[in-house]
Amino acid sequence: MQQAMVIMNPSSGKAEARDYIRAAEEVLQGAGYQVTVQETAGEGDATAFCLQACAECYDLVVAIGGDGTLHETMNGLTDQQHRPTLGIVPMGTVNDFARALQIPLVPEEAIRNLASPRTRRVDMGRLNERLFVNVVAAGSLAGSLSSVSSEDKNRLGFLAYLREGIKELANKTAHTLTITHDGETWEGSSPLFIAALTNSVGGFEKLAPAAAVDDGLLHCFIVKDLHLLNSVTVSISLLLGNLRNHKDVIYFTAKEVSIRSTEPVQTNVDGEQGPPLPIRLSTIPRHIQVVVPED
């Protein structure tokens, strides 16, 4: 019999993740899996459980939680000789990776999708020595988004990020960044740099409309100016899927990017606080196999 491990973050989805465990077990058992459930209690638990699943040659690992739980789970697949197929039940604030793969955002529907026979190989990103699932952001705005508490995420959803972003825009803080890619270097003042693996970032599914989950590329944006008035036109461009053509945005694609600064600059990785600059980014093409909807 095939083996499936369910890794569940009990604080996800307004602390409702536990309510879906039995349904997930029933679907997986009906698909021929023997199921083990692991519940995270702190940072790093999802990675440790996933490493265990790799070592014990599980066939499937299911992450029930938000992008942070998914980020940790996927880091357990780094450089492993055996990598289980990944199933996703999104229960976070924005669930960008699930959006990009058209995995249902309604938990009951996502659980039914676990029995789908269709899989897709997808890219992963590497930040220094760790993996990321969806997006890395650097700059003052990225740092402020990392300060959003789990309570506010559950209570306000995406509005929690929006509130922090507006507060930071009022400060008009920018940093001098040096960004190198494909033998080219850009240096200038910027409040925000974004490197995305998929089309969906922060719940905006049109930020990088040309991005595909298996194109092997980082889709990068350097925002040169984001004062409060200019943020209106940037927001309109974002909603229309035209951010790359905004006059104060530089867009490029690359397989490797390095970002550094002479100032202390924080990063945000898959919605959580990341390491300070300098950082190195690269892609790992088609690294993980994910269960996706049949249609």
Coil, strand or helix: which one is 61?
strand
109 is catalytic: no
Token pair of 24, please? 């997930």
Coil, strand or helix: which one is 68?
helix
Residue 174 is which amino acid? A
| Angle between the N-to-C axes of helices 67-75 and 45-55, in degrees from 0 to 180, rounded to the nearest 10 | 40
Catalytic residue among 25, 72, 272, 294: 272
Residue (of 122, 152, 118) closest to 134 by Cα position: 122
Residue (of 88, 45, 34, 86) closest to 66 by Cα position: 88
Rg (CA), the chain: 19
Coil, strand or helix: which one is 127?
strand
Please state, in angstroms and as integers, the Cα–Cα distance from residue 156 to each residue in 76, 139, 159, 195, 207, following that order.
Answer: 30, 24, 5, 25, 22
What are phi and psi for residue 286, nearest 5 degrees?
A: 50, 50
What percent of the chain is helix, strand and coil (3-state, nearest 5)? 30, 35, 35
Nearest 5 degrees, angle CA 248-CA 249-CA 253?
A: 160
Q: Are 50 and 70 in contact (CB under 8 A)?
A: no
Please state, in angstroms and as integers, the Cα–Cα distance from residue 122 to each residue in 52, 69, 79, 174, 261, following that order.
Answer: 22, 18, 15, 34, 31
Q: Are 20 and 89 in contact (CB under 8 A)?
A: yes
By annotation, the residues acting in catalysis are 272
